[in-house]
């Protein structure tokens, strides 16, 4: 029997990295369901522009996910303006593309601080708010790069493996609490983060596709949120195969070239912004 779809109307949701991309699309999809949304971003001016575009009382707040105090202030102010938070979407992340041996220490550290540290902090702070009320959602944006290693984005792949593992463990710790964890694993998403990436065997999805799957998994409980869904089935089919077979299939589909044969010129603006990301 199909599970009953739950209403999200009136729910208060805080989204990190909400000024653009998946964060912005998720805010828009949740607003369409009647949610009240607070978006946090390092680029507060852009977040304010996004909030104005989204309307419906969307709140834009400054946020540095690598600073626990900043994260606490973001959630406190979101609750002051909108009411008790029902969901935290840990979306903020960066993806530099470079051969691992050439990657700078600063790039590695920044990815760990944002992609892992930000999710850890956001998840911990969300638990403290949600568990006492016995309800709510923690939505962690991982990646299908968190299910397999992708050449050219070794550090990013490692951080997303961490997000998957953290989400799985926390789900176990919260079992029976009423607080749900969603682990969102998109393929290549057509946003600034993947600018210059092109590969005929890997069809990109849109940020709105990811947002719609998040909303669907909040309405009808689901931990593994693959985008597109078919890729979740593919992972299950391939998992029992010997590693050499899976790797050979990946090479045949040129997945090993996905992040090594990119247009670095097209990525320059994004790479510079990611490298300079800071409070």
Partner residues linked to 13 by β-bridges: 37, 87
Integer Cα distance of 143 and 148 in angstroms = 9
**Tokens for 8?**
């999200």
Which residues lie closer than 8 Å to 207 by C-beta, 6 or more apart?
Answer: 21, 22, 24, 25, 26, 189, 190, 191
Closest CA to 97 of 219, 279, 268, 277: 268
Instruction: Please report, for residues 85, 130, 168, 213, the alpha-carbon distance to residue 135 in angstroms, rounded to integers and kept in the order given.
Output: 10, 6, 18, 20
Active site residue 235: no
Q: Considering 71, 74, 137, 156, which one is annotated as catalytic?
A: 156
Q: Alpha-carbon torsion 65, 58, 179, 165, what sign?
A: negative
Per DSSP, the residues of 146-160 read GTS--TT-HHHHHHH
Taking the C-alpha atoms of residue 114 and residue 236, their distance in angstroms, rounded to an integer, is 29
Catalytic residue list? 156
């Amino acid at each position: 029997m199909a599970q009953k779809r739950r209403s999200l109307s009136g729910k208060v949701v805080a989204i990190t990295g909400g000024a653009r991309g998946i964060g912005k699309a998720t805010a828009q999809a949740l607003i369409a369901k009647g949610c009240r949304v607070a978006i946090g971003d390092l680029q507060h001016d852009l977040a304010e522009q996004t909030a104005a575009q989204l309307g419906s009382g969307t709140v834009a707040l400054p946020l540095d996910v690598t600073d626990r105090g900043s994260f606490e202030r973001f959630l406190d102010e979101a609750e002051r303006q909108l009411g008790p938070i029902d969901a935290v979407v840990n979306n903020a992340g960066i993806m530099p593309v470079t051969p691992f041996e050439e990657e700078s220490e600063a790039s590695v550290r920044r990815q760990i601080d944002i992609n892992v540290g930000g999710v850890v902090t956001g998840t911990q702070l969300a638990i403290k708010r949600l568990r006492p009320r016995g309800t709510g959602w923690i939505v962690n944006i991982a990646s299908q790069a968190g299910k397999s290693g992708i050449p050219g984005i070794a550090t990013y792949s490692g951080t997303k493996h961490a997000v998957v593992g953290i989400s799985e463990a926390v789900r176990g710790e919260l079992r029976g609490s009423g607080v749900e964890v969603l682990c969102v694993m998109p393929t290549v998403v057509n946003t600034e983060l993947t600018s210059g990436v092109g590969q005929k065997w890997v069809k990109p999805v849109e940020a709105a596709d990811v947002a719609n799957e998040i909303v669907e998994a909040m309405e009808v409980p689901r931990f593994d949120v693959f985008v597109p869904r078919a890729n979740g089935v593919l992972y299950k089919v391939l998992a029992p195969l010997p590693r050499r077979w899976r790797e050979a299939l990946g090479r045949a589909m040129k997945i090993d070239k996905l992040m090594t044969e990119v247009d670095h010129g097209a990525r320059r603006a994004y790479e510079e912004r990611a490298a300079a990301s800071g409070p």
